[in-house]
Amino acid sequence: MVDKQTITEVKVDELVDKAVLMKGQGYRLVQISCTFKDRFEITYSFDKDYELEHFRIYGERDEEILSISQVFFSAFLYENEMKDLFGVKIKDIAIDYQGGLYRVAQKTPFAPQKEEEEEAEHV
Amino acid sequence: MSKRSIVPFGPQHPVLPEPIHLDLVLEDEKVVEAIPSIGFVHRGLEKLVEKKEFTEYVYVAERICGICSFMHGMGYCQAVENIMDIKVPDRAEYLRTLWAELSRIHSHLMWLGLLADAFGFESLFMHCWRLREQILDIFETTTGGRVIFSVCKIGGVRKDIDKDTLKGIVTILDKMQKELKELTDVFIEDYSVQHRLVGVGVLTKQEAHDVGAVGPMMRASGIAQDMRMLGYAAYKYLDFEPVVENDGDCYARTLVRIREIYQSMNLIRQCVEKMPEGEIEEKFKGMPQGERYERLEQPRGEVIYYVKANGTKFLDRVRVRTPTFTNVPALLKVLQGCELADVPMMVLTIDPCISCTER
């Protein structure tokens, strides 16, 4: 039987508190993933005894979010990845590569292009 | 106070088959900090999902890595199957498990060889890879391919294995197990091997949990977590327990992988014994709609496939969180305070797969 997966939405400014809570309850950070359509959605997944808990935040393109790497050190790689590939603005990352984790030819290749960038390409 | 210096390690280094770079901050010969740098060959395979139909993307997923290629395809297929509520036939589940466990043996034998090579035991390296060849031969016999064999598809598998071949696989493994015992005895008992591994790169149970270590790296630190226990594929029908060691050093990580090779052989025997007759593929119609996080146990640890589908033939997003990616913080932890000469051992004992990391 396929297990049911639920994703709980949290507000951007509640994220770090939620991370502290999960750490206190003995959860392990297993992944952070980002998807970008009209706005970004970032999902934080935690595991305890094979049970996954997912929390999701939604934010606008230029919205700044706070890093959880001060709570879960391993978050720094996921956060740098989101910064490099999607252009998500994340502040206070434990090790911040300033957009240099991946040596990609195109800046933020996974993010949809802004209208002015698309126009510039067509000129 | 000792003078601090920074030594670059990689991206080209004898123990690294693939590029990763570490800036090692040293005080005399002691590492006080390590800053990793990846992304030399990032391929953006996740982005390709926008241009490949969801049925075709299996081929892309398989090409993320040449070592656990089969399990990448399997992880992706399972995620889509669970979204679409496709019931894969039991025989296909057993066949998937069999190929997955063969992949684990092949990966661990390759790693043992690389480890032996890194500490200068050339003949041990060659014998490990000689044994590994037999597993590649089984892949070739059963699928036609030795590295990427494309037998996994959404709904099941492409090829069946007949009874005689299944018996033949067990015979090969029985014979191989005797030779393997001679090899693993050297890893376990040899003084010079122990000298390089025992007490080196210790990661405590608490540290392993805090930095989010996975796979043998986590289990060697006393945490009994193995995603196969979730019961995906045919694992729900098989009898096994996670392999755990408690010392958390390079030697413990080696022991975990050695014991996992024997465990995989045992799982394959169980698969052959219990494999039911029947179909190997479930035909399906329609397009996937929804999202799913799928977890599997690859040779290097837990891999997570995230698939988000929108009801069309093109998916919105595929995201692969690979075990090496999440073991990098654990590597940084064990490097702190180690001797410069031990750095190659520690880098190797996370069994780094940069190909996966640079998906």
pLDDT tens, position by position, B184-220: 999 999 999 999 999 999 999 999 999 999 999 999 9
Opening angle at CA A46, ends A77 and B267, nearest 5: 95
pLDDT bracket for residue B50 (50, 70, 90): confident
- Asked whether residue A93 is assigned to any structural domain, the reply reads yes
Would you say B326 and B213 are in contact if contact means Cβ atoms under 8 Å apart?
yes
pLDDT bracket for residue B51 (50, 70, 90): confident
Q: Is the peptide bond before B89 cis (omega within 30 degrees of 0)?
A: no
Residues in CB range of B133: below 8 A, 6 or more apart: none
Would you say A56 and A43 are in contact if contact means Cβ atoms under 8 Å apart?
yes
* Listed range (B155-159, B171-175, B341-345) with the worst mean pLDDT: B341-345
- Asked whether residue A33 is assigned to any structural domain, the reply reads yes
H helix or E strand, kind and range, residue A81: helix A75-86
C-beta atoms of A102 and B292 within 8 A = no
- Asked whether residue A117 is assigned to any structural domain, the reply reads yes
Residue B42: per-residue pLDDT: 78
CA distance B316 to B80: 12
pLDDT, tens only, B286-309: 999 999 999 999 999 999 999 999
Say which residue the tokens 């037998």 belong to: B151
CA distance B152 to B357: 22
Residue A123: per-residue pLDDT: 52
The packing angle between helices B250-274 and B90-118, to 10°, is: 150
Residue B288: per-residue pLDDT: 94
* Residue in B319, B328, B350 to test binding to A, most A beta-carbons within 10 Å: B319
CA distance B305 to A12: 24
* Listed range (A24-28, B37-41, B67-71, B185-189) with the worst mean pLDDT: B37-41
Task: Provide the 10 A C-beta neighbour count for residue A1.
Answer: 4
Contacts of residue A35 in chain B, CB cutoff 8 Å?
308, 316-317, 319
- Asked whether residue A2 is assigned to any structural domain, the reply reads no
User: Residue B156's beta-bridge partner residues?
Assistant: B153, B281
Opening angle at CA B311, ends B309 and B315, nearest 5: 35
Give the number of residues written for chain A. Answer: 123
Residue A114: per-residue pLDDT: 65
Opening angle at CA A95, ends B253 and B254, nearest 5: 5
pLDDT bracket for residue A84 (50, 70, 90): confident
pLDDT bracket for residue B125 (50, 70, 90): very high
Residue B225: per-residue pLDDT: 94
Does pLDDT of A122 surpass 60? no
Q: What is the DSSP string of B329-356?
A: HHHHHHHTT-BGGGHHHHHHHT---HHH
Query: Mean per-residue pLDDT for B132-151?
Result: 93
Say which residue the tokens 């698939």 belong to: B307
Number of domains within chain A: 1
Residue A53: per-residue pLDDT: 92
The minimum CA-CA distance between A120 and chain B, rounded to whole Å, is: 22
* B47 interface with A at CB cutoff 8 Å: yes
Domain residues for the domain of A30 are: 7-122
Identify the contact set of chain A against chain B, taking CB-CB distances under 8 A: 2, 5, 7, 26, 28-31, 33-35, 37, 43, 45, 50, 52, 54, 72-74, 76-77, 84, 95, 97, 100-104, 109-110
pLDDT bracket for residue A116 (50, 70, 90): low
Alpha helices per DSSP H over chain B: 57-62, 69-84, 90-118, 122-143, 163-189, 191-197, 205-210, 215-219, 250-274, 323-335, 343-349, 354-357
Does pLDDT of A14 surpass 70? yes
CA distance B340 to B29: 6
Query: Mean per-residue pLDDT for B222-234?
Result: 94
* B293 interface with A at CB cutoff 8 Å: yes
Residue A121: per-residue pLDDT: 55
ipTM of the complex: 0.88
pLDDT, tens only, B75-101: 999 999 999 999 999 999 999 999 999
CATH superfamily membership of B4-357: Cytochrome-c3 Hydrogenase, chain B (1.10.645.10)
Query: Mean per-residue pLDDT for B316-343?
Result: 90
Token reading at A57: 């935040």
C-beta atoms of B47 and A109 within 8 A = yes
pLDDT, tens only, B163-188: 999 999 999 999 999 999 999 999 99
How far, rounded to the nearest angstrom, does the alpha carbon of residue B50 sit from its chain's CA centroid?
27
Does pLDDT of A15 surpass 60? yes
Residue B234: per-residue pLDDT: 95
- What three-state secondary structure class fits B4? strand
User: Domain holding A69: CATH number?
Assistant: 3.30.460.80
Mean residue pLDDT across chain B: 91
Q: Give the start-to-end residue ranges of the domains of chain B.
A: 4-357
Hey, what amino acid is at B146? R
- Asked whether residue A27 is assigned to any structural domain, the reply reads yes
pLDDT, tens only, A67-79: 999 999 999 989 9
Would you say A63 and A12 are in contact if contact means Cβ atoms under 8 Å apart?
yes
